[in-house]
Amino acid sequence: MKKFYSNNKLLIIALVLLLGLFLFDSNKGIEATKSAVYNFKSVGMILPPIFILIGLLDVWVPKEVMVKFMGHGSGLKGGAIAVFLGAVGAGPLVVSFPIAALLIKKGARLAYVFLFLGAWTSVKLPIFMFELANFGYKFTTLHVISSMTIYYIGAIILEKTMSPKAKAIMEEKANKYA
């Protein structure tokens, strides 16, 4: 029972909150359920291809190759690959977590994994044209440059300050989810 709870903590918390909303205002509860179902459908559409991609990567890309391209000695190239992967990735950040877990599992440099997450949340190729058209080139350029700079600094700092124990926990979690 305890294990079931810790494995599904988020789902249980969400269901409790939803129940609370129902008790508070049943109309809002119904609407929330509808939008949850809708959200899940739209994310559900991209889950199978993303996880198939993760599976293929896991099987076809050996650890040495990942280390070579995104590991500690990969330099600028590794960072560029991380940003590229984040920028082309489709879907909400939720989807990027298992991908990041796979990168960690395969030996990618921690700073690059976080750069990947940073790019995923700020620079999106599929949305780039939309941003450009609706917000203008100044806004878009500022957005891309400022966020990537901060995320780069953050990635380096995180890698430097993380304790070996925290890193070990992270690797353990990565093996669990990827």
Partner 1 sequence: MLNGFLYFVVLFFLLFSLVKDGKKTKMALKKAWKSMMKNIMMIMGMMILMGVVFKVIDPETIGSFFGKESGLFGIFAGLGIGSFAFIPSFIAFPLGAQLIENGAGYPQVAGFISSLMGVGLISITMEVEYFGKQAAITRNAFAVLASVVFVVLVGVII
77-106: contacts with partner 1 (CB under 8 A) = 90-95, 97-98, 100-101
Q: What is the dihedral of CA 95, 96, 102, 106, to 10 degrees?
A: 170
**What is the Cβ-side half-sphere exposure of residue 132, based on CA atoms within 13 angstroms?**
8
Measured distance CA(70)–CA(72) in Å, rounded: 7
Task: Give the range of 6-14, 69-77, 78-86 binding partner 1 by CB under 8 A.
Answer: 6-14
Q: Does 166 bind partner 1 (CB under 8 A)?
A: yes
Residue among 83 and 178 whose Cβ is closer to partner 1: 178
Task: Give the range of 69-77, 78-86, 136-144 binding partner 1 by CB under 8 A.
Answer: 136-144
Q: Does 114 bind partner 1 (CB under 8 A)?
A: yes
**Which residue in the set 68, 80, 84, 147 belongs to the binding site for partner 1 (CB under 8 A)?**
147
Measured distance CA(166)–CA(131) in Å, rounded: 37
Q: Does 157 bind partner 1 (CB under 8 A)?
A: yes
What three-state secondary structure class fits 106?
coil
Q: How many CB atoms lie within 10 A of CB 52?
A: 10
Cα-trace Rg, the chain: 19
Q: What is the dihedral of CA 163, 76, 92, 23, to 10 degrees?
A: 20
Task: Give the range of 36-44, 63-71, 73-81 binding partner 1 by CB under 8 A.
Answer: 36-44
**Which residue in the set 5, 9, 64, 77 belongs to the binding site for partner 1 (CB under 8 A)?**
9
Q: Does 135 bind partner 1 (CB under 8 A)?
A: yes
Task: Give the range of 35-43, 64-72, 75-83 binding partner 1 by CB under 8 A.
Answer: 35-43
